[in-house]
Amino acid sequence: MGWFWGGRNAQNDPAKALDDDLKQFLKEQQPRPYVPAEAPAEPSEPPQNLAPNSKPSEQTVADAAQPPEDKPLPKESLFQDGRYKHIWKTYIPQDEIIAATSTPVERVLSARKNRNQSIHKAALENCAFEEEMQQICLKGGNVTDRIRGRMTMCHEETKAFNRCYTLQAKFLQALGYMTNAGSSAEDEEKIQMHADKLYHRMMDYEAQVDEAKRNNQPIPPLSSLFNPNRPAPTLEQMALPRAMEDKMKKPLHEYPPHERELAARAALQEAKLTDLYAEDLFKYSVTMNEDRKNRQVFLTRVFGETIGKFLIPDPPKDPNIKPYSIEQLEREIWKEEDRPSSLPHAQKLEPVETKSSG
């Protein structure tokens, strides 16, 4: 019992009585001390006296033949000094996984969702002043303003903010905001600035109309929103197809006269974007339709044509076959025969570009 509290004797050490193999096993199971990895050394300068027959292609081939362990760490790694490099050896970025595993239907739904979120964010940015006035009415000001805000629930400020957000989103849709995958962030910002400019132009016209009504003066003539040098298109010129008008919140004639052109342009742009999505999905369904036809041929050969087509109907036709053309509708409404209709906002952004460059 003296081993627990008495003096320790080297001859009575129980570790010496262990087998040599057991000692070696226990020694191997001990945790190793942590040694941090050394930072990668900077590449030394190439020697000045190179051989005359050396070729740069040999170095390129050697770099391409590097094993995966020698590849640089991805940016997602928090330890760029080389630690845990073996873990990142088989890493694949999340974007590449989504692009390889998602179906065209999922990509279309994701693109539409991202576009709606971008329009929502851009519209809120353009309506920052109206939103600030609403918040000041609800939370700021003196005691009288707060009492008035609670009694009226800031009706005027909330109405102005909601209308600004709705119209700004309409202008962004009409100008084709976030519809072209190849456009840069600078181009999208120009469209956002131009949408805000057109909104304030509409507000100025409404102020002129209100002032003319108060003074019993004639209402100023209405010009085109997207081209002030031309008169606004009439309701007969903006006659949209029934299928397109049914998707709008209300018929075109129920909008105020100065908002009809905006509603028509936004509806046409959304229809054009829907056609692009449908075209992408149709390309994906071509391979599915081939397998579908093969199964239909097999069932028709076994059970007959009637039963075969009943069990597996014919594939749908091309969705692009329509009784109308969106480009033709744009030319008829805005009389732009001499302008390309594929980019309806290309010429409309010139004032914004000139202002930003100056």
Report pLDDT digits (tens) over 97-152. Answer: 877 777 777 888 888 899 999 999 999 999 999 999 999 888 877 788 888 888 88
Task: Give the DSSP letter string of 157-170.
Answer: HHHHHHHHHHHHHH
* pLDDT at residue 209 is higher than 90: yes
Whole-model pTM: value is: 0.62
- By C-alpha distance, which of 319, 236, 248, 220 is closest to 279? 319
| 3-state SS assignment for residue 231 | strand
User: In the predicted model, what is the mean pLDDT of residues 321-345?
Assistant: 56
Strand partners, 231: 223
Cα separation of 333 and 343, whole Å?
A: 15
Query: What's the burial of 36, exposed, middle or buried (CB within 10 Å: 0-12/13-18/19+)?
Result: exposed
Q: What are phi and psi of 223, to 5 degrees?
A: -105, 170
| 3-state SS assignment for residue 227 | coil
CA-CA-CA-CA torsion sign (207, 211, 216, 218) = negative
Higher pLDDT, 233 or 342: 233
Cα separation of 177 and 350, whole Å?
A: 16
| 3-state SS assignment for residue 310 | helix
Report pLDDT digits (tens) over 166-188. Answer: 999 999 999 999 988 788 999 99
* pLDDT at residue 159 is higher than 50: yes
User: In the predicted model, what is the mean pLDDT of residues 200-225?
Assistant: 93
Distances (CA, A) of 291 to 156, 267, 286, 297, 314: 60, 36, 9, 10, 12
Task: Give the DSSP letter string of 271-282.
Answer: HHHHHHHHHHHH
Contact in structure between 326 and 318 (CB atoms under 8 Å): no
Q: What's residue 47's pLDDT?
A: 44
Report pLDDT digits (tens) over 275-313. Answer: 887 777 776 666 667 777 888 888 888 888 888 778 877
Binned at pLDDT 50, 70 and 90, residue 162 comes out as: very high
Distances (CA, A) of 150 to 134, 136, 145, 153, 160: 12, 12, 9, 5, 17
Cβ neighbours, 10 Å, residue 77: 16
Strand partners, 223: 231
